[in-house]
Structure 1
Amino acid sequence: MKKRIISVLILTFSLIFLLTGCGKKDSKSDTSLEDIKSKGKFIVGLDDSFPPMGFKDDKGNIVGFDIDLAKEVGKKLGVKVEFKPVDWDGVVLSLKNKDIDVIWNGLTITDKRKEQIGFSTPYLQNKQIVVVRKDSNIKKKADLKDKTVGVQLGSSSETALTDAKDISASLKEMKKYSNNTEALMDLQAKRLEAVVVDEVVGRYYISKKPDLYKVLDEDFGRESYGIGIRKEDKSFKEAIDKELDALKKDGTYDKISKKWFGETIKQK
């Protein structure tokens, strides 16, 4: 009798589970282009303190290169774009949980991230550039020997310079800063002789003071930026890729790039 009661209970709970499950949409189901258009918008997750890709201006508005680009894609799709600041450490989880529809904020395409999410076609090539003063005699990376070079603490620039062991070992000092602005200010004040920095960040600051800095032809490595999309959202990804390509062809991409970087920077 006891076994029979247990069997009935198991069967009952199984039926309840199946019935409640049928009423819910699978969290892993596709968010299609049609779903986005029906909603009338897509939500961009970003770190709002990453100039010039996405950051708050003096009035508290979120602005930047990626912001302008996302808005143009939204126009072509006929939907609005909502920008949602999120904790960057948890941005992938926010995407997978559908709190946001895309990650669009200078997101580097890596094999590790590819295991978790999908990516648009790469839209911007970034590299680790060397910035020096206009009057500097430094012409190439080898000239950094016995020089004091600044990097942002914990950045990909620090990693790139550290990994270039022949160069990093020859430096007088690798000086680490909490942000790139401080490093570039020390370069201007001649407390540094060079700064290694993400090109997208470096070009932005250089465009503000073009008479102070120059960039070496050599760099410390390249990477590609892409828009993070859930792997299952294939039709939405295809639509974004299509509209990004259209923006490059009609000159809109170049216009936005020159606005934020002073020149055209894109995937080659």
Structure 2
Amino acid sequence: MTKLRVFLAGLVAAILLPALAAAQALPDLGGKKIVVVTENAYFPLQFVDPKTGQPVGWEYDAMAALAEKLNFSVEYQNTSWDAMIQAVSDKQYDMGMTGITIKDERKEKVDFSDPYMLSEIFMLVRADESRFSEPKAFAADDKLLVGAQAGTSPFYVAVYNVLDGNEANPRIKLFETFAASVAALQAGDVDLVLTDSAGGKALVAASGGKLKMVGAPLQAEEFGFIFPKSSDLVAPINAGIAALKADGTFDAITQKWFVDYKP
């Protein structure tokens, strides 16, 4: 009876294991070159390292891991945030990455990958800030200013979750990049910047005690890569994202850039 059970177990394994292996096999893109556009202005997802002058960050490491898993090569290009979604929609690039929140209105122009990161929007302030710690108190003091990059999730959270719903509110000071808004906060030119939780933690850790996050999260959002509509890259990239989540690679990259990295 025992021998029979062993035989049957072996038979089941012989039948099922090849099928399971096939189900888990990742797409092979055959060394295809994929042109990825980014902004290099969203620390620590992608930015220019001040020590080396080279573009680095979480998304660069994630893309390198995807390229290895799926057998493709990457050519990087740069453009501004306000031009990126339209440029990808127009098929100027194969993919876009810059901490892009998955939103229904954006899906009208581009396709998104599955989420690779869940983030929450927090209030980032100077460490000595005591005038407010939640949106209502900030909104009540018309002398206080918020810095933001037009068209981004933090901009819209500032408009609709912090202030009065007016996108032209003069209390919102616009900057070309997220890094410029943080520099303005540190210089005292604005009093608040909204940031995703992971980026905010990294900024606080790197600030030498000059910055802090306050209050509860104002909004939760998921980040995804973008593609031209009907791109045949969406399915393989999604398979790669799932694999890198499952094997711990994304967790290791997050540890590297959001915890261990020191500018």
Name stretches of at least 5 consecutive residues in structure 2 with no aligned partner: 1-26
What's the counterpart of residue 202 of structure 2? 204
What's the counterpart of residue 107 of structure 1? 100
Identity, % of aligned positions:
25
Deviation for aligned residue 1:71: 0.6
Counterparts of 2:92 and 2:164, CA distance in 1: 43
What's the counterpart of residue 253 of structure 2? 256
Counterparts of 1:192 and 1:48, CA distance in 2: 23
1:130-164: CA deviations, max 9, x gaps? 12344544443344343724322535434322223
- Of the three residues 204, 229, 232, the one matched with 1:231 is 229
Tell whether the 8 Å contact from 1:149 to 1:196 is kept in structure 2 after alignment: no
Tell whether the 8 Å contact from 1:142 to 1:167 is kept in structure 2 after alignment: no
Deviation for aligned residue 1:73: 0.5
Deviation for aligned residue 1:186: 5.6
Match of 1:241, SS state, is helix
1:158-202: CA deviations, max 9, x gaps? 432222366799xxx936253554554565566765433344543
- Is the aligned partner of 1:148 residue 2:141? no
Counterparts of 1:244 and 1:216, CA distance in 2: 32
- Of the three residues 216, 228, 244, the one matched with 1:247 is 244
What's the counterpart of residue 50 of structure 1? 42
Tell whether the 8 Å contact from 1:44 to 1:100 is kept in structure 2 after alignment: yes
Tell whether the 8 Å contact from 2:146 to 2:192 is kept in structure 1 after alignment: yes
TM-score by length of 1: 0.68
Counterparts of 2:246 and 2:105, CA distance in 1: 31
**1:80 aligned partner, one-letter code:** S
Instruction: Please give the residue correspondences for 1:170-185 in structure 2 after superposition, counting only pairs within 5 Å.
Output: 174=171, 176=173, 178=175, 179-181=177-179, 183-185=181-183
Counterparts of 2:229 and 2:189, CA distance in 1: 47
Match of 2:171, SS state, is strand
Deviation for aligned residue 1:70: 0.5
**1:53 aligned partner, one-letter code:** L
Deviation for aligned residue 1:213: 2.6
Instruction: Please give the residue correspondences for 1:151-166 in structure 2 after superposition, counting only pairs within 5 Å.
Output: 151-152=147-148, 154=150, 156=152, 157-164=154-161
Tell whether the 8 Å contact from 2:40 to 2:46 is kept in structure 1 after alignment: yes
Cα gap change, 1:228/1:196 in structure 2, threshold over 3 Å: closer, same or farther? closer
Deviation for aligned residue 1:101: 1.8
**1:243 aligned partner, one-letter code:** G
What's the counterpart of residue 125 of structure 1? 118
Name stretches of at least 5 consecutive residues in structure 1 with no aligned partner: 1-32, 264-268
What's the counterpart of residue 7 of structure 1? none
TM-score by length of 2: 0.69
Tell whether the 8 Å contact from 1:141 to 1:218 is kept in structure 2 after alignment: no
Deviation for aligned residue 1:69: 0.6
Deviation for aligned residue 1:47: 1.8
Deviation for aligned residue 1:260: 2.2
Which moved further from structure 2: 69-78 or 218-227? 218-227
Counterparts of 1:68 and 1:256, CA distance in 2: 7
Q: Which has the larger radius of gyration?
A: 1
**1:74 aligned partner, one-letter code:** A
Match of 2:122, SS state, is strand
Between the two proteins, the alignment pairs up a number of residues equal to 225
Tell whether the 8 Å contact from 1:151 to 1:197 is kept in structure 2 after alignment: no
Tell whether the 8 Å contact from 2:147 to 2:190 is kept in structure 1 after alignment: no
Counterparts of 1:191 and 1:89, CA distance in 2: 23
Deviation for aligned residue 1:233: 2.9
Counterparts of 1:153 and 1:72, CA distance in 2: 29
Deviation for aligned residue 1:258: 2.4
Match of 2:100, SS state, is coil
**2:231 aligned partner, one-letter code:** D
